Structure 1
């Protein structure tokens, strides 16, 4: 099929127009072949590369198209495009994160539905997530610092130990060890002496232990006997006896009964005292004048009589 010159001319004119529009846009900084769904974000430093992935919840939704350093603000502006079907608000956050252990970073959009919907060309807020490698690096850095401090402390301790070991004074480690050895020797000699003493008196110690065993058995038997003696009843009986005795003493103290009257009746006391006095006088008189009370005669002689004052009564 032959194409007429008019068609060829029309096609050439159309291509020329398209090339003119593309070239004019390119000169103005626009690439018509790229997606127009472009968004921007900014970071304090650059750790990204072009064509790095842009994800949402781990799913790839776009790529980074350009990375530009802003000389005025000192920040790195990152341009990225996303699928036109993705809708999110201006309150969404673009997070830079590590994509793996081998390195490389990407962008993740933390989608938010609140607020005004984002439009191509908007600048979104950004944040940086500390990755596993960075965290391990920081931890190992801290561990290295702690290890250095530990090694310094160990070196100081070893220096102090060396000084203590090489110290020849009375407070040094050598003097202390020497005194400890002497103490151990003395303790060993004392132990040997005690062992010898025990060996010499082995029979006596055995005899003492046997006597102690016998005494212990006797004490056990005595305990059993006391247990069988029903001490409780004995104590109860003693308690009753003491109660009765207390009652009797109380009655005596109150002047009840013969003993109580004897102790409490002053008249009876006075009578007994007078009778005792008269009895003493009688015994004294009998001792001085026995003839007044005892008379003995072989021939039936009439006994002499005496009055109350001891004078003989003559008939």
Structure 2
């Protein structure tokens, strides 16, 4: 069968058209031979464009397919497609974020791994992550104020420096610069001298630092040992005191010694009480009849007379 020239021309034209459509779709980010799952979300405003990337953990897994404005709700609906091998939860969040300083935006799937899996056509909640440019725009007034304050401070500093240079002539300025140069040279020479001294005594300084470190460690250990010794002595003395107190209490309970007998012997207590009463009566008699005791060495004896109740009172 012979193919005519017209048929060849038609096949060639149709092949060119198909190739053009495929290349155009490929440049747009569409793959005519790939299978994808489509979902949608909503934003308060539109900051995306068709074919904007959809990523998960920084990896591209899909793109934005269509953007529509909902006249009833005032929301912007964004339809996006992802690779069908990607499984994520329906409670995940679609995050709008900036991809660079030039202002490009993309969507990121923040998978929560909770709840049931999302099915094609489901609505996924959204959020907006503030970017660097947005933050700078919102804080531009504060930055400009700080910059203005910095410029004013620099201007004040230059004014004060000009006031320090009293002689504004060329010779006076040169003299000031020369003095400043001499000062810097002196400081440089001094720094070199200090460095030479340090280098010459490097070993000595290192030895002094090592000795100081060793001494501090020894002092720390010595203080700890002293603390331990003093604590041990204190505990031993306290233990001895408790032992002595226990022995004293035991002797009191066992009627050993005068105090123990005094505390526990009723007869001794009664005798002491009687002696005390007699001593009280003797003192009262001395008070009532002092003449009797002044003549105690004389031969005349004055008989004892018990005091009356009135005299006792």
TM-score range, shorter chain: 0.3 to 0.5
Structure having the higher Rg: 1
Give the alignment's TM-score, normalised by structure 1.
0.36
